[in-house]
């Protein structure tokens, strides 16, 4: 039981770290490209799209094609 709880805790922390990394990278992108958000919902929608695009770029580049995104 202890091992299961420890494993779940580690996975939770890892998930938070990944999410924090996405948020930090998004914030850096938004600042660099001077993005303006009108509402919290607008910011969240743009962030969701940015994360989807970032994952697509990573997956495409992992295929070792003749080009990179």
DSSP string, 9-54: HHHHHHHHHHHHHHHHHHHHHHHHTT---SSHHHHHHHHHHHHHHH
| 1-55 pLDDT tens trace | 555 555 544 544 445 455 668 889 999 999 999 999 999 999 999 999 999 999 9
Dist CA 13 CA 10 (whole Å): 5
What 3-state DSSP class applies to 56? helix
Report pLDDT for 16.
Answer: 47
Q: Is the pTM of this model over 0.75?
A: no
Tell which wins on pLDDT, 3 or 59. 59
pLDDT at position 22, please? 81
């Amino acid at each position: 039981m202890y091992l299961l709880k420890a494993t779940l805790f580690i996975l939770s922390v890892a998930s938070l770290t990944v999410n924090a990394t996405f948020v930090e990278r998004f914030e850096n992108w938004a600042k660099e490209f001077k993005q303006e958000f009108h509402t919290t919902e607008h910011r969240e929608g743009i962030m969701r799209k940015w994360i989807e695009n970032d994952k697509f770029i990573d997956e495409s580049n992992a295929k070792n094609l003749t080009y990179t995104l």
